[in-house]
Amino acid sequence: MKLKKLNPITNGSRHVIRLQKNLLAKNSRLVRSIFKKKQKRNGRSSTDGHITSWHKGAGVKGLYKNVNFSNSKTNSVVISTCYDPYRNGFVNFNFELNTKKFFFDAATNSSFPGSLIKNSPDINELKLGYRTKIKNIPAGSVIHSLTISDNLKTQYIRSAGTFGQIVQRGLTKAKIKLPSKKIIEISVNNYATIGVMSNLVDNQRYVGKAGTNRLLGKRPTVRGIAMNPVDHPHGGRSNGGMPSVTPWGLPTKCGFYLRKKKNK
């Protein structure tokens, strides 16, 4: 996927760098028929209206695509690659050959319309975008969409342009290097997808103005020292003078944790 820089005809478009989405498929009537529901980012409780997630609210309502993150056995063909407003990676619109149904799946980089995608616990042939158990993937391979426990959906390595690597593989356990450079040890019966997650250039985008983030549902983040004393412990004209704390008075530095660390 390529990036495009807008002409600086206004102050808001002076430094904007966006994704060039002309290669992505638009939503058709067939695609809209399998949308799960419409959601709106509000960050508040649906019952009492209290803030449950800070710095979220308003934003443009987006169509939610029900992406298949399960490990069910499938044999499908990629029809198109689509944009998803609720994740930074792209999704593939696939057609299942056995059940004759359509579904969305997380897109692997360099997977194009017409590509064959398989999801099976036992695969003899390994190709880009195939999903299988780690015991079938050789050590040193690049993977994404990792599960860390049996019978669970994908939890790790789902962000745009990220990938992990199988550092070591034994008979029962395997060591996986995550994008954070942390190495975890999991069972070889867990699933993973071969390849890199789509949208590699997502980290090179530049929104250019605050209004773009407001349309995405992101509200401003105000410093505690810029507030009044009634709103934050840092508030008022004190110019600091106290250790950094949360809005509820808990320390935020020096390794303070509410939950005790487990002794290994």
Asked whether residue 227 falls in the same domain as residue 102, the answer is no
Asked whether residue 255 falls in the same domain as residue 149, the answer is no
Q: Do residues 23 and 12 make contact, with C-beta atoms less than 8 angstroms apart?
A: no
Total length of the chain? 264
What 3-state class would DSSP assign to 148? coil
At 239 the pLDDT is 64
Does 215 fall in a domain?
no
What 3-state class would DSSP assign to 213? helix
- Between CA 80 and CA 91 the distance in angstroms is 9
Asked whether residue 184 falls in the same domain as residue 255, the answer is no
Asked whether residue 134 falls in the same domain as residue 72, the answer is yes
Asked whether residue 35 falls in the same domain as residue 155, the answer is yes
Per-residue pLDDT for the chain (264 aa), expressed as one digit of tens each? 788 899 999 998 999 999 888 878 877 666 666 776 666 667 888 888 888 888 988 888 878 888 888 888 889 999 988 888 888 999 999 999 988 888 899 999 988 888 899 988 888 888 898 999 999 999 999 999 999 887 678 889 999 999 999 999 999 999 999 999 999 999 999 999 999 999 999 999 999 999 999 998 899 999 988 999 999 988 887 666 778 888 888 888 877 777 777 765
Does 213 fall in a domain?
no
At 157 the pLDDT is 92
Range of the domain at 59: 3-202
CA distances from 234 to 51, 58, 227, 248 (A): 20, 27, 7, 11
Does 211 fall in a domain?
no
- Between CA 98 and CA 84 the distance in angstroms is 26
Considering only CA atoms, which of 170, 119, 111, 118 is closest in space to residue 147? Answer: 119
> pTM for this structure?
0.81
Does 21 fall in a domain?
yes
Asked whether residue 187 falls in the same domain as residue 64, the answer is yes
Asked whether residue 106 falls in the same domain as residue 233, the answer is no
Helices (H) and strands (E) in the chain, counts: 2, 14
Give 25's contacts (C-beta < 8 A, 6+ positions apart): 31, 79, 80, 81, 82, 93
Considering only CA atoms, which of 75, 90, 88, 115 is closest in space to residue 25? Answer: 90
Radius of gyration of the chain from its Cα atoms, rounded to whole angstroms: 22
Asked whether residue 69 falls in the same domain as residue 174, the answer is yes
Does 190 fall in a domain?
yes
Choosing from 202, 233, 253, the residue where a domain stops is: 202
Which residue bears the tokens 């550092």? 167
- CATH number of the domain bearing residue 233: 4.10.950.10
Q: Which residues pair with 4 in a beta bridge?
A: 18
Does 188 fall in a domain?
yes
Quote the distance between the C-alpha of residue 76 and its chain's center.
23
Count of domains forming the chain: 2
- CATH number of the domain bearing residue 128: 2.30.30.30
